[in-house]
Structure 1
Amino acid sequence: MQKHRQGRRFATKKPIHTANREVLLFNKPFDVLCQFTDDSGRRTLKDYIDVPNVYAAGRLDRDSEGLLLLTNDGSLQHTLTDPTQKTSKTYWAQVEGIPHPKALENFASGLKLKDGLTRPAKVEVIPEPEIVWERTPPIRERKAIPTTWLAITLTEGRNRQVRRMTAHIGHPTLRLIRYRIGSWTIDGLNCGDWRRISLG
């Protein structure tokens, strides 16, 4: 597995279609920005990836973790980020409390958020995934209140959507990890590591 910490030059333009396609899977740690520069000195992609001319295909919030795909291929980036393509993504959400099954059933018909009704989503209660790593800093847990892990699959990508959906049913998200984008997952990829993938 390839892991890089320092680089010399990074993309300043959006990716374009190229015969030499670079496609990377990155397991983004908590508190890392999905960009290569930051005037405030916060951690960014350049602290982990030294491949030039690649850009994130989609976003992952600074306080979220998990799979981020980077590429220099504009057509692939468009496919993954275009809402009409309905690219499926799965998230692992650790939420406060134990959601009632009836509340989770509402995900299938859509939840009415401030920006409108969400598309139907899949949700299931799961055990804590074995590959989950320790977060730094750890989440704040209240001893008297249990937590639950949910696997939530969406085909849209509104701003902070998973967090807003779990809050809507009364169970705030304490930790959020993106596990899958399309057919790609973070299986075998440690937190903070990246690898090139083959598109066949």
Structure 2
Amino acid sequence: MDLQTNDDQHFLIYKPFGMLSQFYSNSKQQCKKRFLGELYDFPDGVMPIGRLDEKSEGLLLLTTSGKMSHFVNSQNIEKEYFALVDGAISDSAVNKLRTGVTIGFEGKKYKTKPCKVFRIKDSLELPEAEQKIRDDRHGPTSWISITLKEGKFRQVRKMTSAVGYPTLRLVRVRIGNYILDKAMDSGAVRPLEKLTF
């Protein structure tokens, strides 16, 4: 089954903090929000593959192929996030995240699936945060990597809060084999010839 044609267009972007993962909204409450269209002159029919919430940043893929968008969203493609959490995260908390924690989703309790989680010990090469984040003078923080094959609404934030370490900054760095280039600044757009998973 062909998921894309030669006429389809695809993009890899670094979605900035504070921007919605959409091109417009009919909601009066969102009329002053920032939308993806301000980053680039995207073609008609382009859509984000999945979403990042307004307060999250990082890798977002866009395509004009509805079949490709559906495929990526339905096939449990790995998505990796770097999360800066409040506190020096414990081994116990990391293990709980790995095995699954209970979060709220659509008004019900939901147990997350097992996933890959580890502490990041090396310094990260990310653009400077666009939002004010408290610094280590107010207590320790930790960077962790979380790789999921599911994507419930605000899942990573809910997971880290469930083990007692709220997320202060969240950056998606990988979707399948697509990795956020360290040279990309927030708001950067890179056209792709095709998408392969």
Which bin holds the TM-score, normalised by the shorter protein?
0.7 to 0.9
- 1:76 aligned counterpart, secondary structure: helix
The 2-side partners of 1:137 and 1:164 are apart by: 20
Q: CA deviation at 1:18?
A: 4.1
Aligned with residue 33 of structure 1, among 7, 20, 23: 20
Ranges in structure 1 where 5+ consecutive residues have no aligned partner: 1-15
Equivalent residues in 2 for 1:83-122 (5 A)? 85-114=75-104, 115-122=109-116
1:169 match: 163
Counterpart Cα distance in 1 of 2:123 and 2:176: 19
Alignment: residue pair count: 183
- What residue in structure 2 maps to residue 67 of structure 1? 59
Q: TM-score, normalised by structure 1?
A: 0.85
Q: Equivalent residue of 1:143, what SS?
A: helix
Per mean C-alpha deviation after superposition, the further-off stretch among 86-95 and 47-56 is: 47-56
CA distance in 1, matches of 2:168, 2:131: 12
Q: Distance in 1 between matches of 2:134 and 2:150?
A: 29
| Aligned equivalent of 2:33 | 42
- Equivalent position amino acid for 1:124 in 2: F
Alignment-derived partner of residue 197 in structure 1: 192
Indicate which of 53, 56, 69 corresponds to 1:77: 69
Task: Give the counterpart letter for 2:187 in structure 1.
Answer: G
Q: Displacement of 1:108 after TM fit?
A: 2.4
8 A contact 1:18–1:72 mirrored in 2: no
Runs of 4+ residues deviating >4 angstroms: none
Does residue 135 (structure 1) correspond to residue 129 (structure 2)? The answer is yes
Give the counterpart letter for 1:102 in structure 2. Answer: S
TM-score normalised to structure 2 length: 0.86
Q: Distance in 1 between matches of 2:121 and 2:36?
A: 30
**In 1, Cα distance between equivalents of 2:124 and 2:114:** 27
Kindly indicate whether the alpha-carbon contact (under 8 Å) linking 1:24 and 1:70 is maintained by their aligned counterparts in 2.
yes
Unaligned runs of 5+ in 2: none
